[in-house]
Amino acid sequence: MKQNIPLKPTALINIKKIDSQVCEIAGQFWKNIWNNDNPAIDLKTKLLLSLANAVGGGRFRQASRELIKAYSLGVTIDELDELFALFIWNQGIGHFASVIGPSQLFKIYKTIKEMEDKKIERKEIVENIMNNFGENNPNVGTGYKK
């Protein structure tokens, strides 16, 4: 089942500037992973796995994008709380305090959590995080402008 989610893989456009054949291969690979008609792993879980892998690799731009996409598809704050607790467990309190805590990723998470605490509707929260942390945010966007 295909779902419409924000923040498309616009970084592929940057690859096309280098080599259109490599971009085509990367695009086909992306489709196989993210746009598969019969995936074994549901999209929300896949996004959370990708988010965690990105954090582990220090790729906070990607992690931020995955968080926004996962939340837009219905990932709960309780799931995000557990995931961020896992970051503390797996990477340590010091790393969390000095690297993850001050990151754009954590700002997005805190915004979601604070808005949910105020009982703001998910649709409005997604709109807010897209406006503040979407493609036009230099810490989240991939630099592609139409």
User: CB burial class (10 A; 0-12, 13-18, 19+) of residue 18?
Assistant: exposed
Q: What is the pLDDT of residues 103-121, one digit of tens each?
A: 999 999 999 999 999 999 9
Q: What residue numbers bound the domain in which 49 lies?
A: 42-133
Number of domains in the chain: 2
Tell whether 51 and 33 lie within a shared domain.
Answer: no
Model pLDDT for residues 34-61, shown as the tens digit of each residue: 888 899 999 999 999 999 999 999 999 9
Please answer whether residues 52 and 100 qualify as being in contact, where contact means their C-beta atoms are separated by less than 8 angstroms: no
Q: Is residue 143 part of a domain?
A: no
**17 and 65: one domain?**
no
Token pair recorded at residue 18: 């280098």
DSSP annotation of 134 reads: S
In a domain, 145, yes or no: no
Residues 25, 79: one domain?
no
Q: Do 14 and 142 meet the contact criterion of CB atoms below 8 Å apart?
A: yes
Inside any domain, residue 36: yes
The pair of three-digit structure tokens given for residue 143, joined into one six-digit string? 């630099």
